[in-house]
Homo-oligomer: A and B are copies of this chain.
Amino acid sequence: MERKQALQKTLEMLEKANIVLTEEEKSKIEITDMGLGHLEVEGLQLLTYINTDRYCAKELVLFPRQTCPEHLHPPVFGKDGKQETFRCRWGTVYLFVEGEETDIYCKPPAGKEQWYTAKHGIVLKPGEQYTIPPNTKHWFQAGDEGAVISEFSSTSRDEYDVFTDPAVVRVGD
């Protein structure tokens, strides 16, 4: 999928979720396949509203069944890693974190199973949220309609994220 097409699809989903953006914000939406070359399977669309040295807020968009690959936020500069609260605004999110295995129906991308080790699943519908502790492996996938998620967190330093799949290339802000 070309950037132009992916951006159009992202904007349509934000519109369905009734999230209003300025024209300048629309032009700043990040679309990343994390270097894996199959955006619709593994990737993420996002807009950072604010990222200061104290807090961060983003809007995340996932296409239908698109998966954000497993990663964790390690300690940086002697401080705890990023702590994230995911609030589902639209659609369905299947979120997996480290912990006891659960029996919810959502599978990692085919052939990539070895890079998806977190098996404690949480289903988030609109209005539901979950806070992921720092330094904890997590990955998430949208349901059949896709998903729009508000992320509230401590400072975001994407360049320090540690992905389980060594093939991931995530260029920082």
Binding site for B on A (CB under 8 A): 17-18, 20-22, 25, 49-50, 52, 54-57, 80, 83, 85, 87, 89, 126-129, 131, 150, 152-154
Chain B, Cβ-Cβ closest to A26: B127
**What are 26 pairs between A and B in contact, CB < 8 Å?**
A18-B18, A20-B127, A22-B127, A49-B129, A49-B152, A50-B85, A50-B129, A50-B131, A50-B152, A52-B83, A52-B131, A54-B54, A54-B80, A54-B83, A54-B154, A55-B55, A55-B83, A55-B85, A55-B152, A55-B153, A56-B152, A57-B85, A57-B150, A57-B152, A150-B150, A152-B152
> B55 to A126, Cβ gap below 8 A?
no
Given contact pairs A22-B128, A49-B129, A54-B154, enumerate 13 new A-B contacts (beta carbons under 8 Å): A18-B18, A20-B89, A21-B127, A49-B85, A49-B152, A50-B129, A50-B152, A52-B83, A52-B131, A55-B153, A56-B152, A57-B87, A150-B150
